[in-house]
Amino acid sequence: MWKLKVADGDNNDPYIFSTNNFIGRQVWEFDPDYETREVQAEVEAARENFWENRHLIKCNSNLLCRMQLLREKNFKQTIPQVKVGDGEEITYEIAKTAMRRGAHFFSALQASDGHWPAEIAGPLYFLPPLVMCLYITGHLDTVFPAEYRREILRYLYCHQNEDGGWGFHIEEHSTMISTTLNYICMRILGEGPDGGRDNACARGRKWIRDRGGVTSIPSWGKTWLLIFGLFDWSRSNPMPPEFWLFPSFLPIHPGRFVGPITPLVLELREELFLQPYNEIIWKKVRHLCAKEDLYYPHPLIQDLMWDTLYICTEPLLTRWPFNKLRQKALEVTMKHIHYEDENSRYITIGCVEKSLCMLACWVENPNGDYFKKHLARIPDYIWVGEDGIKMQGFGSKSGTLLLPYKHF
């Protein structure tokens, strides 16, 4: 049974620290002995109800959190419900009673530290990069034991579209980037090529292959496939870290790092591409983007910039003496990453950056404190609902206090 812990932290832990005694922090932990069998049955009923209606109602109702908070406070609604018939006038007293009833219920959902626990999620490309990062670094089993894996898979099953793919977010049509990343996530978590509830893996793979395979995944997806060993760095559009030596609005590349080529990676190379992996001409797929992911066509100037970097700049910066500049740029890049990590207590500004910063720290030093501090903050991003485990967009909970406060 999952339990929400509020304002939980240990200032004596060398890898986690807070300036406000962890007020506003919300983390979930699994306790097999928590709550009665009746409560556990209620939770299972909520999960199955979501599954049965997943294509009609895409967003969960945060029921696990609500059930726990209302039980802990022994909440009883004492203000009677107001019903207004068709054509009936809504008087001041009716509106006031309805507002009081809502405020009474909502106040019961306030946590002991003063904030209202809630999820900030929905996009379906948040969680897979974290799973991929933990797989590469060898910490997947430690951070996500069996109970976590089960709930992550539940979330992926619940939000798979009827056509077999996954959208950029839970309400959207299927896209190549989300379908590919979530398919890889399921395979990492132990599902076979034809595994998963309701044939999730087979349906997802068919969606990908019916659209030409993953060579048409957009640039952000290509980045993670490069890191994971499913694309070839040498024939991909470069994003030189030398840009960090110039004005701060320019982009960054995480470096030509490739994770270990495991048997799973080799299997995915066969499953996700239409042609044999070793026969793919990578330079011809640099600009490809699936039509489902193309919200706006690449302007000519963008492709011209990519081609200039690919043909002219990158070959120089990877050779002596220009590789000295590359090394300097990578050092500056890591300084920026460490600054952001320390400034945000290793929560970082958001979940996309979290996985990349954590991976960069591991590449720099797999046994270093920077990486261990990142691991300690992963629970800040995890949320458990009746639809499973998802990764939240932000680790900050300021909004879940300010918005309810404003409404009150």
Q: Which residue has the tokens 């299972």?
A: 44
Percent of the chain with pLDDT over 90: 68
Q: pLDDT tens-digit profile of 3-36?
A: 999 998 877 788 998 888 899 999 999 998 888 8
If you average pLDDT over residues 284-304, what whole number do you get?
88
164: CB partners within 8 A, 6+ apart: 174, 179, 203, 204, 206, 207
In the chain, pLDDT over 70 holds for what percent of residues?
Answer: 93
pLDDT, tens only, 33-45: 888 899 999 999 9
Distance of CA 238 to the CA centre of its chain: 24
Q: How far apart are CA 282 and CA 284, in angstroms?
A: 5
Out of 62-66, 229-233, 322-326, least confident range: 322-326
Average pLDDT of 109-128? 93
Among 20, 25, 129, 117, residue whose Cα is nearest residue 354: 129
Given a cut of 90, whether residue 320 has pLDDT beyond it is no
Contact 374, 367 (CB under 8 A): no
Q: Flag whether pLDDT at 248 surpasses 60.
A: no
Please state the rounded mean pLDDT for residues 43-70.
96
This prediction has a pTM of 0.89
Which residue spans within 7-86 are E strands per DSSP?
A: 26-30
